[in-house]
Amino acid sequence: MRLPIIKHVLKFIEENDEDWVNETIELLENMTEIPSLKDEEVEVMGELLSNLYGTLEVNQMIKDGMDKKEAMNSFMKRVMGSIDQEN
């Protein structure tokens, strides 16, 4: 997860609509099924998908009344906590 990407996509959602992000997720998920893709290409798409899903989670926290900065910090702490638990 990359916080600058999440911030950028949040700004996009504010200026446009969350539906664009959902449709982009659908497209990327569909593209991962292309048999001729290299592992590296699928990894890049997976990273993009992770950031898009993360952005949707942060956006939902904001909709639920949480401050934008607090929502991003809370989300990143949760992500870092889950990574620490894997190790």
What is the per-residue pLDDT across 21-75, written as a single tens digit (0 to 9) for each?
999 999 999 999 999 999 999 999 999 999 999 999 999 999 999 999 999 999 9
The predicted pLDDT at position 1 comes to 78
Residues 46, 34: Cα–Cα separation, whole Å: 13
The predicted pLDDT at position 70 comes to 95
What is the distance, to the nearest Å, from the Cα of residue 74 to the centroid of all Cα atoms in its chain?
14
Query: Distance from first CA to last CA of the chain, Å, rounded?
Result: 17
Predicted confidence band of residue 80 (pLDDT cuts 50, 70, 90) = confident
For residue 82, give Cα distances in angstroms to 29, 53, 59.
Answer: 23, 16, 20
The predicted pLDDT at position 85 comes to 62
